[in-house]
Structure 1
C-alpha cells in the first residue's frame, strides 16, 4: 500500500507509541491528525513534526468522550478531506490492582475500552461508506 498522501488519525498521538508512529508515518509522506487530551504535549508534538516537514493537524480530544472522537473525525475530514488510517492508540494505566479507587478504574476503562468503542463508532461507518 502506498502511504504517501494518505491521512492517518492517531489518538494518544502526543507521546509514546502514538508519537513514534506519527514520526514513521510522516517519514512516508502521510498527513497526520493527532488527537490527545494533553494540550501542551500535543502542541509540542505538532510543532516538532512540522519542523521536520510533516503535514500535521492537532486536535485536543478525550477519547473516552464520544463527542470528542466525533469532533476529531470531523476535524480530520475538514482539514485533509479524507481519512485512510486510524490508530486507536490512546491508553492509560491505573497503577496497582489492589487499593485502586473506583474513579481510577472508571478513567482507565473510559480511555482504554470506551475510547476504542468511540473510535470504531466514529470511523468505521465512514470507511464503509467509502468502501475502504
Structure 2
C-alpha cells in the first residue's frame, strides 16, 4: 500500500512500539490518530509527530470496548477522512500464571484480541467496498511460540495471530491487506514493568523475554512494520531467530515442549 496521503489509526500509541509506529506512519506521509488510555502519552506522541511535520490528533480512550474503538474511527473520519490503515497495537500482559480473577481474563482478552475483532468489524466492510484497506496486528513472538509465566498473554497473542491469518485469507482477494508483527523483546514500558514486578512469576515472564534474544528498540519494530505495509507482507519478524524457533516447534512438538520446560526451569 502507498502510505502517503492515507489515514492511520494507531492504538496503544502513548508510548513504546505504538508511539514509534505513529511517528513512522506520519513520517511516511500518513495522517495519524493516536489512541491510548494515557492522556499525557498521547499528547507527547502527537507533539513528536507534529514536530516532524506530520499531522496527528490524540484520542484518550479504551479499546477494551466497542465505544472506545468506535471513538478512534469516528475521530479519524472527522479530522482526516476514512480510515485506510488500522494498527491494533494496544496490549497488556495480564495476570501472571493462570490468574485468580475472571475480570483480569476478560480485560486481557478484550484488549489483546477483541479490540482487533471490533476494529475489523467496523472497518472491513468499507475497505471491501473501496477495494483497499490495511489491518496491522501487533501480536508477539508469543503468538507463534508461547509466553512463559502468563497464560492470558500467551493465549491472546496466539489468538491475535490466528485472527490476522483469518482476515488475510478471507479478505485478501478483496483488497484488504494484513500484516502481523511478532517481535520478542522490545525496550518498552510493558517489558520493564514485568521485569520490575514484585510478583516472581511476572518477573520470570519478563526474564524469559529479555534473555531469549536481543532486546531491540521500538523504532526498529516500527520501521519494519511500515516497510511490510508498503510491500503487502503478512509476517513481520523483528527478531529473525523466531522463524527458526517456530520451525523447530512445528518439526518436533514434543521436543520443543520439553525444551521450553527446561528453559523455564533455568529462570527460577
- TM (norm. structure 1) is 0.90
Higher relative contact order (CA 8 A, sep 6+): 1
Q: How many residues align?
A: 132
User: Residue 7 of structure 2 aligns with which residue?
Assistant: 7
1:96 is aligned to 2:96: yes
Residues 94, 100 of structure 1: 8 Å contact kept: no
* Stretches (4+) displaced over 4 A: none
RMSD: 1.5
Shift of 1:76: 0.5
Structure-2 separation of matches of 1:16 and 1:100: 28
Q: Find the counterpart in structure 1 of residue 208 from structure 2.
A: none
Find the counterpart in structure 2 of residue 82 from structure 1.
82
Partners of 2:32 and 2:75 in 1: CA distance: 12
Structure 1 gaps of 5+ residues are none
How far apart are the structure 1 equivalents of 2:70 and 2:99? Answer: 34
Correspondence for 1:20: 20
Task: Determine helix, strand or coil for the equivalent of 1:126.
Answer: helix
Paired residues for 1:9-48 under 5 Å: 9-48=9-48
Cα distance in 1 for partners of 2:58, 2:121 equals 20
CA distance in 2, matches of 1:130, 1:80: 17
- Evaluate the alpha carbon distance shift between residue 107 and residue 131 of structure 1 in structure 2; reply closer, same or farther with a 3 A threshold: same
Q: Distance in 1 between matches of 2:77 and 2:13?
A: 17
Rg larger in 1 or in 2? 2
SS in structure 1 at match of 2:83: coil
Using structure 2 for the length normalisation, give the TM-score.
0.46
Structure 1 position 102, deviation (Å)? 2.5
Bigger helix share:
2
Query: Whole-Å Cα distance in 2 between the matches of residues 131 and 51 of structure 1?
Result: 33
The Cα of 1:74 is off from its aligned counterpart by 1.2
Query: 1:99/1:63 Cα in 2 relative to 1: closer, same or farther (>3 Å)?
Result: closer
What SS does the aligned partner of 2:103 have? helix
Structure 2: segments with no counterpart, 5+ residues: 133-268
